Chain A
Amino acid sequence: MRSRRFQASLFMVLTTVLCTAVASLPADAQTPKRGGTLRVSYGNEIANLDFHTAPGYEMMWVAMNVGCGLVNITPDGKFVGDAADSWQVSSDGLLYTFKLRPNVLFHDGTKVDAAAVKFSIDRLMDPATKSGMRSFYSPVHSVEAMDPLTVQIRLKHPYAFMLHMLAAYRTGLILYSPTATQKYSLEDRKAGKPEAVVGCGPFRLVEWVKGSHLVMDRFDKYFVPGVPYLDRVHIRTIKDPVTEMAAFKAGEVDFVASFSPEHVDTLKAQVPRAQIMTGKETTPMMATMKVTIPKDGKPMAKERVPHPIFGDIRVRKAVGCYGIDRNEIVKIAFKGQATPWVGMIPPGTLDSVDINQMCPHDQAKAKALLAEAGYGPQKPLTFELMTNTEKSVFNIIATVIKEQMARIGVTANIRLVDKVTWMNTTLQDAPWDMYVEDLLSLITLDSNAYLTTTPSTWNTSRHTDPKVDEYYARYAKELDAAKRKAIAKELAEYMADKVYWNVVSGSPFFMVAQPWMKGYVYNAEFEVHYHKVWLDK
């Protein structure tokens, strides 16, 4: 017979042991809490919600949560299935067969089946859709629905980056519901009518009021059980950096999807417990020079003549290669948080190669080349350095370059314009000499082929060298990884040698989260997924 006292002591001991055991559990064995609203801030407006055609990162970050595709990519470059459960590639690399999960549904209740996949890809490939993804599907010959859960993509030639493209070029493939697409118009989708913007992703669109908010709620029938943890994601646009920082510091915002690199240090000091997420640089900062101009002055004319200043490769090399001090730019503009770089493949992109030794900062060499090209104290070189106001760092880099040009006796006049004017000028072959911009992120070199190949409108430098196109084509078709890397290196060296694409550095990217936001894994600036996020409060 145990005395009461003994029972009490035993109880106390057991409780203490249990508590100690529980308390000493490792911290990351926390179970995600379900529920809550994630408050997100974007620095720019979402253009519109037709995922297949709308421009801009902000749209992409919504598309990859409302929509779903065939496959996704992890931060270390591995492919995981999205709507597709598994896939097989034929040995000749021409046939990609995807087996879909049986339980994937669109937000309007219709099934995500092979017909829907075929519909979506056909739509993207259709010129009438005017999708920015169309050029990526050029290797595709046809898509076939073998049975309701099996879809086969036939390529015209082997394409090493088919899966990369489907997973992450821009939005990656976003599946559209044939029912919803036929029922509602393009304008309905653009305008963000919830019945029209239908995807198969973890969140469904509740409402978008441009300039005010975008709200998406958990899709209860999402095919991955248990996720998303969040009830709701509430997105707003805060353009002014002071306001954005104030909102974050005051705890009004949980997550900032694109945080200005110049203010990261300030934020660290102001909010010590903030999670500041970044990764390898996948965006190049460029100082591009125009190589040709239209022969008869008519924009986009096929006949070209060399640009009066930068048509001469010696001048390009003098100014862009040797004249620019990349280390100084990184120190001033990025406070050392970027990598000085010459290769066109940024440090964080697949098959990146360091060829910085090809363009060391060499004032003597720059001056010598300029003299060779006929410039000097008697005939000083003057050019216009254009940049836009989208990011304040562009103007800083331009100012630094201006100073560096002065050291080699060159005058650079800065012309600061807004983004729309910049796009109109560069895309429509209007007069410009050099611009500083960071264009787009590269997950692979191939993803930006449309920026550099000769016939593309986005080939802003308007070079006419078919060898570049050849390199791209070979790179995309080479299935052997080692050989691909060699082609990439050759292409990078060729571009640096010809100075068609003048990279100055990588461009750092930051996302900022409150300490109570858990479960977010930073992938790259073009991948923002909320389905594993939960709020620890």
Chain B
Amino acid sequence: MRIYILRRLLGIIPTVLMITLVVFVMMRSIPGDPVVALLGDAYTEEDAIKTREAYGLNKPIAIQYLIWLGRLAQGDWGTSILSGRPVLQDVLFRLPVTLELIVLSMVVALVIAIPAAIIGAKRQNTWADYSATSVAMIGVSIPEFFLGVLLLLTFSVGLKGALPSSGWVYLPGTCTSVVCAAGLVGNLQHVLMPAIALGVGRAAILTRLLRSNLLEVIRTEYVTTARAKGLGERSVVLKHSLKNALIPTITVMGLQVGFLIGGAIVVETLFAMPGLGTYGIDAIIARDYQQVQGFALVTAFAFVVINLLVDLTYSLLDPRIRYGS
């Protein structure tokens, strides 16, 4: 087992590198380059050529990638061509924002899904079951940005600024800038609407999954035994079934992170949050190669690591599955 884990850990590196290589090549397939935008009014053909040379943009793609890789190995994530800002610094600044958004979205999804799934499982095929699943189903059928706009209008505009429309207040300790607005309450106010907009969509899938897993667990002999022992109904469902049903559900949810990361791009754009999502999309559209590489690196790494954790947790919890033999 340990060998398996080690192999998987080592396997992260080639996967992440492959992803960054693909992104590298894809970015350079986009028509247009950042030099035109960089020079702006000063654009002349000869200055453009000189600038491209200065930034090494006319070398063969393979060489450029190797250069990037070499610098990365020394801890240098490069600097943005357009803004001159070190990529690593900006990524670190924005990471807590997106991380918190994603985590809280999952929490929102669970907050909706757990009661809905329990109702659905306990009162299977009744009116209550259908309503609970329906509510969750509605959530997944609305595009995240539309839900975000509706939330924005209700809470920021409609309720006279009950929640702020944009921006960010950092959790104490996570802000690396000089001018920091930090505070727990402010932070929660800023993250609430985005998290709901992002989390509601995932709730439906969670509900469905959790409900069916709950039913599965309830049917097993193990639970029957608990009932036979005379434990109350509530205790049977909540304590034993839920815990066991939740774990495989959450591990599968880990695979949903892809949707969450993508959805974060949209939600962050709408709520003007200084997160990795806006960082990435701005970079892609501006063709800021270095910035995109930084973004791709972080995202790919997070994604691959989460996949690994999901796999490992799954194998740890279900002894029926064996690896590597």
**Direct contact between the two chains A and B in their complex (CB within 8 A):** yes
- Contact flags B17-50 to A (C-beta < 8 A → 1, else 0): 0000000000000011110111111111101001
Question: CB distance B82 to A48 under 8 Å?
Answer: yes
Shortest distance in angstroms between A96's beta carbon and chain B's nearest beta carbon?
24
Q: Which residues A203-260 have CB closer than 8 A to chain B?
A: 206-207, 209-213, 215, 234, 236-240, 242-243, 246-247, 249-252
Shortest distance in angstroms between A460's beta carbon and chain B's nearest beta carbon?
11
Q: Is B285 an interface residue (CB 8 A)?
A: yes
Q: Is B86 an interface residue (CB 8 A)?
A: yes
Question: Which of B33, B34, B82, B83 has the most A CB atoms < 10 Å from its CB?
Answer: B83
Shortest distance in angstroms between A430's beta carbon and chain B's nearest beta carbon?
9
Name B85's contact: one of A132, A191, A252, A419 (CB within 8 Å).
Answer: A191
Question: CB distance A240 to B44 under 8 Å?
Answer: no
Name B32's contact: one of A134, A189, A421 (CB within 8 Å).
Answer: A421
Residue numbers in B under 8 Å from A50 (CB-CB): 84
Known: A50-B84, A209-B90, A215-B179. A424 touches B32 (CB 8 A): yes
Please give me the 7 A-B residue pairs with the lowest Cβ-Cβ distance, nearest first.
A55-B40, A190-B84, A132-B41, A212-B274, A132-B42, A424-B32, A250-B161
Shortest distance in angstroms between B103's beta carbon and chain A's nearest beta carbon?
20
Question: CB distance A191 to B79 under 8 Å?
Answer: yes
**Which bracket fits the contact residues of A?**
35 or more
Question: CB distance A238 to B179 under 8 Å?
Answer: no
Residue numbers in B under 8 Å from A251 (CB-CB): 161
Other than the given A130-B42, A170-B41, 14 more pairs (CB < 8 A) read A48-B85, A55-B39, A191-B79, A191-B86, A207-B178, A209-B93, A212-B274, A246-B157, A246-B166, A250-B164, A300-B45, A418-B285, A419-B37, A423-B37
Question: CB distance A243 to B272 under 8 Å?
Answer: yes
Stretch in B1-9, B148-156, B232-240 with 4+ CB within 8 Å of A: B148-156
Q: Is A420 an interface residue (CB 8 A)?
A: yes
Q: How far is the CA of A210 from the CA of B166 in the complex (A)?
A: 16
Shortest distance in angstroms between A207's beta carbon and chain B's nearest beta carbon?
5
- Contact flags B160-178 to A (C-beta < 8 A → 1, else 0): 1100111110000000011
Question: CB distance A132 to B40 under 8 Å?
Answer: yes
Q: Is A457 an interface residue (CB 8 A)?
A: yes
Q: Is B129 an interface residue (CB 8 A)?
A: no
27 contacts across the A-B interface (CB closer than 8 A): A48-B83, A55-B40, A55-B41, A130-B42, A130-B47, A130-B51, A134-B42, A191-B83, A209-B274, A211-B274, A211-B279, A212-B168, A213-B179, A215-B179, A234-B179, A236-B167, A238-B166, A242-B153, A242-B270, A247-B156, A420-B287, A421-B31, A423-B32, A423-B37, A423-B43, A425-B32, A457-B44
Question: CB distance B40 to A246 under 8 Å?
Answer: no
- CB-nearest residue of chain B to A59: B40
- CB-nearest residue of chain A to B85: A191
